[in-house]
Structure 1
Amino acid sequence: MVIDSLVLALVCCAAVGIGLLLAIARSRRPPPSRPAGGRRGLMLWLLVPGWLGRAVAASDSTKAATPIGKRLCVVRVHNKHTDRRQGAHFVTPMFGQAFRQGDMPAGERPHFTLADGTECPATLWGITSWPDGSMKFCAVMVRIPHSIPAGSVLEIDVRAGGSVAKPSPRTLEDFAPADLSVVLDGITALDGTWRASLNDGARARRDVVPIANGPAGAIWRVGSEFRNQAGSPHGQLYCWHYVAALNGAENELLGLRYLGRVAQPWTDVAQPKAQHREFSAELRTGTRVLRRLRGHVAVEMPGDAIRLPHYASFFTAGPDARWDTLHANGNPETEQRLRTSLDAAYYIASGLVPPYDLSAEIAEGEVTDYVPMGRGTVTRAMGTTGERADIGLLPEWNVRHLITQSDAHERIARVNGLTVAGLRLTFRKRETLQPVPCVDIRTRYEGLGRIEPSWRGYIYMSGMTVPSPNESLWREDTAHRPGCTYWPYLFTGEPQYLDLLTEHAFAHILELNQGNETVWGTTFPRPEVLEGKWGGERGIRVGVNGTLHKGSGVLLYGIGGTRMAAWRSRDVAQAAALAPDSPPDGAAVRLYLRDVMDSSYAAFRDYMSKVPASYRDSGLFIQGKGNGAPWQIAYMSWSVCHQADILPTANSKHVREHLSRFWSSFSKIADMACLAAYVCTYKDADDMLIQSSSQLLGSLRCQLTFDAKTSRVSISEGKQKTNGDWRAQNGDVFGFTEKRSPEIAPLLNGRSEGRFYAVNCQQQTFQLATTPSGKPLAFPKDLTVTDFFARLRSFAPNLAFDAPNSPSGYSANLRGAVAYHKACGDDVEIAYQSLHKIVREQHVKFFNRPKYLTKDSRIS
């Protein structure tokens, strides 16, 4: 009997081991070679029947010959950072999971299995749905009944057809013995020692948000005051404790995961004074120090002191920007260093990320550390002009991580996601503990408290508590502000990233100038988009007696250009799209943000219904005075394509389709190279806003020489030795402005801007007339012009007007935006092929710079 039992056990061990080996082998990105230690770990696991006995004994670990539900994608768990095996019945790191509309029908939940059909119980949270009720996104942590050898990867199948799981027995009492706290020792504007205790917040129950509970464990966000040794609360300093209690196979407590966030967030507290506070900081369990935090004060070199501005915050994470792990006995030991990677192709298919080219070659990322009040790889002076990794729909570093799924790129994404907590954008009321609403589309939003239409945030500060001083190491700028938190939340599911995304969305709306009576004129011709007296940015009235769309300034207003509206509406839409269907704290954040975006799309549609048909057909979207910028329109296309993907409504689709016509209409009448330039003109010869793409001109920086004797214009290279070998064709249009080309003033005859047509074209010379077939103009004297506008039927053999076209430059940006439109189903084929040719013939290399490298289809 003993021998039979032993044989049976060995056979079972081998069977399970083979199943695990198959799961590992199925990894799409297997390690090129498995370390010897990994092989030894696997063999030892196979020979130890105790691990098998534990797996078989687990009451909620089941194995199905044919797993139930459609297999949608895979998640991979990596154990590549130690030489030790990860034992069975561990809980994975948190991760996010996106779904295509319809893949996870309403009422169903995803379930997770190994390759051999073994069910892996999971805890879900952050569930948000598509319009048809199917699941769009959820955050997950899964308990795995198998071990993972060192150096190996384990695949988990994500399947449809699951049901709501039973909660675990985890409670707030589970983390009481750990006695976790953040301790500050004052240096400037803070006297003495102040402690924010997780247990104190749990006992008070004033700010306890149950985020999730399921078979893999439970998660809470617990707020607590910083108190001095006498027990008195500070009043401005506050701490949010994010804590997960992990559940074992026998419903035992496996341990805790923890992240603290220190903030000065209150908009409605005047005393103590709202100001910078400097201190040293420690994370403790009881009296034991887990981490001494190093941070920034006034220079980039981190030190023992941290300066926290009002309305900013930082986290207790270590250099890798991850939560800390404590075993159930309270010791500060960490479990195996695991990480997860997602199915990038499926994420793209879901529409939650653009159709980036996953075959792009990316160099490995450099190690970047998280430091409280540090910058990671984010640019401090956000107003700095020029192309940067920060700027775009997703920052460059997030696209790199999507493509590589590497540990180094994940670390950069995590670090930068936490780093932007240091921006002064955390505007919450002490009264409600919530971000501040300032748009009253509805008279009330559950849990958000009083709406404050007269308040303004950002650096302007009115209505709310005004800090003194109101400055920091950061120089925030909406026109260039990177969206650092959307992607980290999508791939980690960690709740702090959603909190930051939500706060930044509210802050964008608060930043808009108070008032909502700015009127956009609909009667053309007109010299500017506004009609009558300017009345603030938060809402737009379409026509003098038209409909007021509160909150629509998020999309329809950008003093600094279309890019401001592009990035502002991006952040608000992303937060609206990922806000849970059922908020764990009961606050109507999702409703408020969606109201603002719905109002913005409706205002856009209302405006376009009233302007001339030629304006609509041309896809024009003019927001400011005078000259525009095609690259900024491309930013808007990136943003709106994304918004229509993640917030799919008839109105968001309408905005996207309208913008697609900007590219399509121009490509049918002129060379797209005319738009691959720094600026274009939205004014006609009478200084009125254009009404059709046939009036649109792009900037040209080469040299034109006007010969007074022959009345001919000759084309030659400009200062940058480019763009000088094209030939004009009869009917090509040229525009000159005295501001850009003062030497042309005699030709303009007193007009602020002039339009002229090429006639009598010969080789690289032509003449100019005021009408397409008019009499050639005589020039009063010889002139040389190097900066002007033009619309050419062919710019061959040149590829773009502006010389600085790099992999991150204008043509790559335009090509990527138009490819995104095409992937969304918009009719932009001619524009796409033209721009694609420009990028190809420029030999643009996207190595390590993939944020503009989109495919024209979501099919991988």
Structure 2
Amino acid sequence: MPLTFGQVFAPGDLPRGAPLSGKLADGSVLPLQVDVKATHADGSVRHAVISALLPKLAKGKQAGIALVKASAKGAEDTGKPDFDTGATVTVTLDGERYIASSDRLLKEQKPQFWLEGPVATEVQVAAPLRNARGEEHPHLAARFAIRAYPGAKRARVDIVVENNWAYEPSPRNFTYDVEIEVGGESVYRKKELTHLHHARWRTLAWTGAAPAVHLRHDSDYLIDSRALPNYDRTLLVPDGALARLAAKWEGPRSEPMGVGVASPAMPNTGGRNDIGLLPGWAAMYLLSMDARAKEVTLGTADRAGSWSAHYRDKRTGLPISLVDYPYMTLLGSPGDTRNPKTGKQEAFPRCPRDVCKTPYKADSAHQPGFAYLPYLVTGDYYYLEELQFWAMWNVFSTNPGYRKNIEGLLATHQVRGQAWSLRTLGEAAYITPDKHPLKQDFNAILKSNLAWYNATYSNNPSANGLGVIDNRQAVIYKSKTAVAPWQDDFFTQAVGHLVDLGFKDAQPLLKWKAKFPIARMVGEGACWVDAASYTITVRDSPVAPTYDSMAQAWKRTVGPELAALSCGGAEHAAATKRKPGDMGGYASTAMGFPSNLQPALAYAADVGGAAGKKAWERFMSRSVKPD
């Protein structure tokens, strides 16, 4: 039975060139094919795609595989891979048929290799759809990734249909009939599918039976590698919650041009499952490794292609890069997009509203982390590109002048938008394969952003003493005198995540940011039960300097009468209409303000010394917590 999966490794765990084998429960050794994709600074493996041929398992039977560094016999050569799958995409648009054939493209092109070895070889080809006269459709294209397992005499076919060339004139939605065939059999068919502009959709098929196997990664190791946030592994995800999640995965939302379980309008206000370092459905999968949660997590990452946030460079065939087009943007006047070096405008062709209507709205402030975890655990190239598309969209969606064009500064986003954009950018820089052309681009943009934040805050003697982001995008509440601490907490946890991923330039920023959540919990003159309030006043007027002490901020926020009461005492509880030790802000829910504070405070406690430890202990002693 063929099996391929992605695996992340902690620094030093798998040295460069070290052999890797699978050890089964009975002590037998399973040969593995290891395609190394990314490495750590010390040269050890960071991420690899691993393939194997499993022994037959009885239905419902489980088998453990331990990855061990062992000089075992390598995977045997099982023959020449067969890529002739007969995969075709046929689109009928305005009465005319357009076709793409994987077999034909393999004869016409030199394919790109994603996996290559004795167990599995995956090749990739792509081209615009063509009509009977051989004319290419200007917008619609197909991409095929064919993964052949000669030892299993079958292949997986990954088909992606795209409408996302960045600079093709007259972009628009297209409504067409589509059929996908593999091996002469129809595997997907849809009448009147509306393919949104700058979007894409995906389907998977097999020649022969698809392997009926569910792989459960070691959640502890994934988290201990620091590639993923340190979620509380003592939590058990209830079966009822998993069943309710699975029940949402049905109907149009699970089909091409649906958006899975994500909110279709990202800018909508209010707490929801989408928001966090990982979206709620992905966190449920990480902690449970349940097959239902995996289907929803991978499926929603598939459907992340439905948003009009996908801009592919026809010249390179890759997601478009700010390094190549430093003045591209979705905002600003045409003059803002003129590249002085080339004299050309880099604005994207206009997409008229009447032909570009979409039921979905993307933004950075509420954007789920769609594809990072799916790519980590599968190694599928589709998820890698989803991560790259979103990371670059967050950067180029702002005005070129405000973001300092090629530097791609994120500081003009809302604070929460800065947080999730940094998260996605950092993950793309961390996990993009070493040899991928965009690796250095993501690293350069991330480096520019961290340099800006460090110069503005952590390395700036004139920066505020609270450790709070206080630029014009932050101090927007109460007549521009207050910030939203929960948005600032999103930013702190994103910076902490970057530190975990090994970006050293994020360390001074985290140390500076740690001051704000810690001071709200244990700072002199502050009251910890109000640490997760909706807003905190940080200055006297829109032109006044930011306070340097939490005592000033807290007193101005709650008023002198409440500030005079004993923090957390009976009088304070009565005045705030809460139980003693109740932090308020929907404290009993996983999406409440204290829950937003928790990961920020956890990262702050790591670098905050004795005060950080005290703040964490006090937070964990609160009386009202999510169930």
Using the size of structure 1 for normalisation, the TM-score is: 0.64
* Residue 595 of structure 1, CA deviation: 0.8
- Give the distance between the partners of 1:698 and 1:121, measured in 2 at CA: 61
Q: Output the CA distance in 2 between the equivalents of 1:504 and 1:460.
A: 23
With 598-607 and 97-106 compared, the bigger mean Cα shift is at: 598-607
**2:258 equivalent in structure 1:** 374
Confirm whether residue 690 of structure 1 aligns to residue 546 of structure 2: yes
Change in Cα spacing, 1:570 to 1:202, as seen in structure 2 (3 Å) is same
Structure 1 residue 163: Cα displacement: 9.0
**1:335 Cα deviation (Å)?**
3.9
Task: Please give the alpha-carbon distance, in whole angstroms, between the structure 2 residues aligned to 1:803 and 1:600.
Answer: 33
Q: Quick check: 2:91–2:97 contact (8 Å CA) kept in 1? A: yes
Per-residue Cα deviation, 1:176-225 (whole angstroms, up to 9, x for no partner): 2x311111122xxx44111111122212216x321011121101221122
Is the CA contact (8 Å cut-off) linking 1:458 and 1:507 kept in structure 2? Answer: no
**Shift of residue 687, structure 1, vs aligned partner:** 4.3
Q: Is the aligned partner of 1:228 residue 2:228? A: no
Counterparts in 2 of 1:169 and 1:204: CA distance versus 1, 3 Å: farther
Q: Say whether 1:422 aligns with 2:306.
A: yes
1:635 to 448, 472, 490: 490
Alignment of 1:544-623 (within 5 A): 551=407, 553-554=409-410, 556-558=411-413, 560=414, 562-583=415-436, 588-608=437-457, 611-612=460-461, 615=464, 618-623=466-471
* 1:33-44 pair list within 5 angstroms: none
Give the whole-Å Cα distance in 1 for the aligned partners of 2:357 and 2:329: 16
Partner Cα separation in structure 1 for residue 182 and residue 517 of structure 2: 59
Q: What is the alpha-carbon distance in structure 2 between the residues aligned to residue 372 and residue 763 of structure 1?
A: 56
Q: Which residue of 2 aligns with 1:484?
A: 370
Q: Which amino acid aligns with 2:403?
A: E
Q: Residue 377 of structure 1 contacts residue 416 of structure 1 at CA under 8 Å; is this kept in 2? A: yes
Which amino acid in structure 1 is aligned with residue 358 of structure 2? S
Which residue of structure 2 aligns with residue 844 of structure 1? 626
Question: Secondary structure of 1:615's partner?
Answer: coil
Alpha-carbon RMSD: 3.1
Deviation at 1:242, TM superposition (A): 1.6
Give the alignment partner of residue 728 of structure 1, picking from 565, 568, 574: 565
Pair 563,696 (structure 1): closer, same or farther in 2 beyond 3 Å:
farther
* Residue 546 (structure 2) pairs with residue 681 (structure 1): no
SS in 2 for 1:678: coil
Code of the residue aligned with 2:464 in structure 1: it is Y
The one-character-per-residue Cα deviations of 1:322-380 (angstroms, maximum 9, x if unpaired) are x32213xxxxxx14411101000011110011111122232323241430001211101
Give the corresponding residue for 1:315.
202
CA distance 1:237–1:679, shift in 2 (3 Å) = same
Q: Which residue number in structure 2 is paired with residue 68 of structure 1? A: none
Distance, in Å, in 1 between the alignment partners of 2:319 and 2:277 is: 24
Task: Report the CA distance shift for 1:259/1:690 in structure 2 as closer, same or farther (over 3 A).
Answer: same
**Matching residue of 1:192:** 96
Q: Does the 8 A contact of 1:641 with 1:824 survive in 2?
A: no
- Indicate the residue corresponding to 2:294 in structure 1: 410
Shift of 1:122: 2.4
TM-score by length of 2: 0.87
Please tell me the residue identity of whatever aligns with 2:230: P
Relative to 1, partners in 2 of residues 1:164 and 1:824: Cα closer, same or farther, differing over 3 Å?
A: farther
Secondary structure of 2:63's match? strand
Q: Which amino acid aligns with 2:409?
A: G
Q: Which amino acid aligns with 2:313?
A: K
The code of the aligned residue for 1:345 comes to: D
Contact 1:184 1:194 in 2 (8 A): yes
| Equivalent residue runs for 1:215-294 within 5 Å | 215-248=118-151, 254-270=153-169, 273-285=170-182, 287-293=184-190
Find the residue that maps to 2:68 and give its secondary structure. Answer: strand
Which residue of 1 is the match for residue 58 of structure 2? 149
SS of 1:136's partner is strand
Secondary structure of the corresponding residue to residue 806 of structure 1: coil
Q: Is 1:97–1:138's contact at 8 Å kept on the other side of the alignment?
A: yes
5+ long unaligned stretches in structure 1? 1-89, 294-303, 317-322, 328-333, 440-450, 516-535, 540-549, 705-712, 716-725, 733-761, 765-784, 787-794, 846-860
1:677 and 1:714, CA in 2 relative to 1: closer, same or farther beyond 3 A?
Answer: closer
The one-letter code of the counterpart of 1:347 is L
Structure 1 residue 613: deviation in Å?
A: 6.2
From 235, 238, 241, give the equivalent of 1:360: 235
Paired letter, 1:832: W
1:447-486 equivalences in 2 (<5 Å): 451-457=324-330, 463-468=347-352, 469-486=355-372
Q: Which amino acid aligns with 1:91?
A: P
SS in 2 for 1:231: coil
Sequence identity (%): 21
In 1, distance between residues paired with 2:44 and 2:497?
19
Q: Which amino acid aligns with 2:377?
A: F
Determine if contact 2:267/2:366 at 8 Å carries over to the other structure: yes
Are the equivalent residues in 1 in contact too, given 2:409–2:448 (CA < 8 A)?
A: no
Shift of 1:164: 11
SS at match of 1:153: coil
CA contact (8 A) 2:182 2:206 kept: no
Please state if 1:339 is matched with 2:176: no
The one-letter code of the counterpart of 1:324 is A
User: Which structure's residues are more often helix, by fraction?
Assistant: 2
Q: Is structure 2 residue 500 aligned with structure 1 residue 645?
A: yes
Task: Return the letter of the residue paired with 2:356.
Answer: N
Quote the residue 1:182 is aligned against.
89
Q: Residue 16 of structure 2 corresponds to which residue in structure 1?
A: 106
Q: Residues of 2 paired with 1:509 and 1:346: CA distance?
A: 32
Give the SS at the match of 2:129.
strand
Letter in 2 for 1:277: F
User: For residue 500 of structure 1, what is the aligned residue in structure 2?
Assistant: 386
Say if 2:583 is the partner of 1:800: yes
Query: 1:802-855: per-residue Cα shift (whole Å, max 9, x none)?
Result: 4676332001221232124435786611221222222xx01431xxxxxxxxxx
User: Structure 1 residue 834 and structure 2 residue 609: aligned?
Assistant: no
CA contact (8 A) 1:168 1:217 kept: no
Q: Please give the alpha-carbon distance, in whole angstroms, between the structure 1 residues aligned to 2:380 and 2:332.
A: 29
SS at match of 2:492: helix
Give the number of aligned pairs: 593
CA distance in 2, matches of 1:612, 1:339: 54
Mapped to 2, the partners of 1:97 and 1:288 lie a distance apart of 33
CA distance in 1, matches of 2:434, 2:70: 20
* Cα displacement (A) at 1:580: 0.8
How many angstroms apart in 2 are the aligned matches of 1:460 and 1:668?
46
Structure 1 165/504 Cα, relative in aligned 2: closer, same or farther at 3 Å?
Answer: farther
On the 8 A contact 2:518/2:604 being kept in 1, the answer is: no
How far the C-alpha of 1:671 sits from its partner, in A, is 2.0
Superposed CA offset, 1:664-718 (max 9, x none): 244231222232111112213684131423365359999x8xxxxxxxx877xxx
The AA in structure 1 aligned to 2:301 is G
Instruction: Write the distance in 2 (CA, Å) between the matches of 1:459 and 1:287.
Output: 49
User: How far apart are the structure 1 equivalents of 2:197 and 2:71?
Assistant: 45
**1:326 counterpart residue number:** 207
Rg (Cα) greater in structure: 1
| Alignment partner, residue 339 of structure 2 | none
2:376 & 2:185 partners in 1: Cα distance? 34
Q: How does 1:712-791 map to 2 (within 5 A)?
A: 728=565
TM-aligned CA distance change 1:701 to 1:823, over 3 Å: closer
Say which is worse superposed, 156-165 or 593-602, in terms of deviation: 156-165
Mapped contact 1:612–1:691 kept (Cα < 8 A): no
CA gap 1:696/1:423 in 2 versus in 1, 3 angstroms: farther
What SS does structure 2 have at the residue aligned with 1:242? strand
- Quote the Cα distance in structure 2 between the aligned partners of 1:236 and 1:169: 40
State the shift of 1:458 in Å: 8.0
Extract unaligned runs of 5+ from structure 2.
335-345
